[in-house]
A and B are shown apart, each in its own frame.
Chain A
Amino acid sequence: MEACIWLVGLLFLYIGLYIWNKKTPKPEGCQNITIGCDGCQLYDCTHNHVHKEGESN
C-alpha cells in the first residue's frame, strides 16, 4: 500500500517538474545551441529532433 502511494507520488513529482521545465523558455542567446549530436538516437535527451517534431504536431 505504501509502495503504491510512494510510486504515484514520485511519478507526479517527476511529471510536474518535466512539464514545468518544458514550459520554461530558454534564456536569450541560448535558443539554438546544439552540442553537435544530431542523428543521435537518444530519445530521452530533450535536444533530440523528435521533441521538436512533437511540438509542431
Chain B
Amino acid sequence: MSKLTILKKGIFDENPIFVLLLGLCSSLAITTTLSQAIGMGVAVIAVLTSSNMIISLLRKIIPEEIRIPIYIVIIATLVKCVQMLMNAYTPELYDSLGVFIALIVVNCIILGRAEAFASKNSVIDSALDGIGMGIGYTIAISCIAIVRELIGTGGITLTNPFDASQVLFTFSIFKEYAITLFTQPAGAFLTFGCIMAVIQTFKIKKEEKNKAKEGGK
C-alpha cells in the first residue's frame, strides 16, 4: 500500500468514528465545544502515533501469546505521560476534559490499530497509519462539535489551549434562537444519529448506483 493510501484510509474509508464505530465514549462526551474536541483529537493523535511506532519497533521481540497485555501496558504508560503533560501545559483543557483523557487507554481505536496494523508493518507505515486515523478521528469529532456548538449556543469560540484567556476566534450567528438541547447528552445522541443517517444514505445511494451500472451492463 502506498504511503498516501495509508494516510487517506484513516480519514475516509475506515474513519474510526463513522465507519468503525470505535471510541464512542469519549467522542460523545467531549463534543460540547470545538476547543475541547480539537484538544482531545490532538491527544489521541499523539498517543496513537507514538503507540503505533513503539509497538512496530518491538513487534519482533514481543511473544505472540501475550501481546495484548504488553500493548495495554505500553498504551497506558503513553496515556499517563500525555495526561501529565496536559496537566502541566494546558490546565484549563485538562480540567474540562477530565477523566476522558485517562479513558483514552480503553479507547478501542488505539488497541485496534496496534493489533491490526502496527504489529505487522514497518515503523514508518505504522506511524502514517496512526496519524491518518488520528486525523480522521479529529475531523469526525470536530464535525459533531461544530454542529452541537453552533446550534446549541448560536456561535463558535476557539480559545488558545495554552492560555485560556486568549480567544483565537469567535463568531456568533443567532444567539436568541439557540436550541440548548444540543449542549446536553440528548443532543449528542441526536447529532450523532443524524450524521450517521446522512452517511448511511450516501452509502446506500452509492451502492444502488453501482448495482444499476452492473445490472445495465
Query: Do A and B touch (CB < 8 Å)?
Result: yes
Which residues of A does B touch, CB under 8 Å? 11, 14-15, 18-19, 22, 41-44, 50, 54, 57
Among B108-116, B146-154, B155-163, B187-195, the one that faces the other chain is B108-116
Known: A41-B22, A43-B115, A43-B116. A18 touches B108 (CB 8 A): no
Contact of B112 among A14, A22, A43 (CB under 8 A): A43
Q: List B contacts of A44 (CB < 8 A).
A: 68, 72, 108, 111
A43 lies within 8 A of B111 (CB)? yes
CB neighbours (8 Å) of A50 from chain B are 115-116
Task: Check if B66 sits within 8 Å of A18, measured CB to CB.
Answer: yes
B residues adjacent to A (C-beta < 8 A): 20-22, 64-66, 68-69, 72-73, 108, 111-112, 114-116
Could you jot down 6 A-B contacts, CB within 8 Å? A14-B69, A18-B69, A42-B108, A43-B108, A44-B108, A57-B64
**Chain A residues in 8 Å Cβ range of B21:** 41
A19 & B68 in contact (Cβ 8 Å cutoff): no
Residues in chain B near residue A57, CB distance under 8 A: 64
Contact assessment for A54 and B64 in the assembled complex, using a CB-CB cutoff below 8 Å:
yes
Most buried by B among A15, A19, A57: A15
Q: Please name all residues of chain B whose beta carbon is closer than 8 Å to the beta carbon of A41 when the two chains form the complex.
A: 20-22, 108, 112, 116
Cα A11 to Cα B74 with chains together (Å):
11
Complex Cα–Cα for A54 and B69 (A):
15
Q: In the bound complex, how far is the Cα of B72 from the Cα of A57, in angstroms? A: 22
Q: Which residues on the B side are within 8 Å of A19 (C-beta)?
A: 65-66
Query: Which of B72, B108, B114, B116 has the largest count of A CB atoms less than 10 A from its CB?
Result: B108
In the complex, how many angstroms separate the beta carbon of A53 from the nearest chain B beta carbon? 11
6 tightest CB-CB pairs across the interface, nearest first? Answer: A43-B115, A41-B112, A15-B66, A43-B112, A41-B20, A42-B108
Give Cα A14–Cα B64 distance, bound, in whole angstroms.
16
Task: Report which residue of B22, B64, B115 has the largest number of chain A beta carbons within 10 angstroms of its beta carbon.
Answer: B115
Q: Hey, which chain A residues are within 8 Å of B112, CB to CB? A: 41-43
Residues of A within 8 A of B66 (CB): 15, 18-19
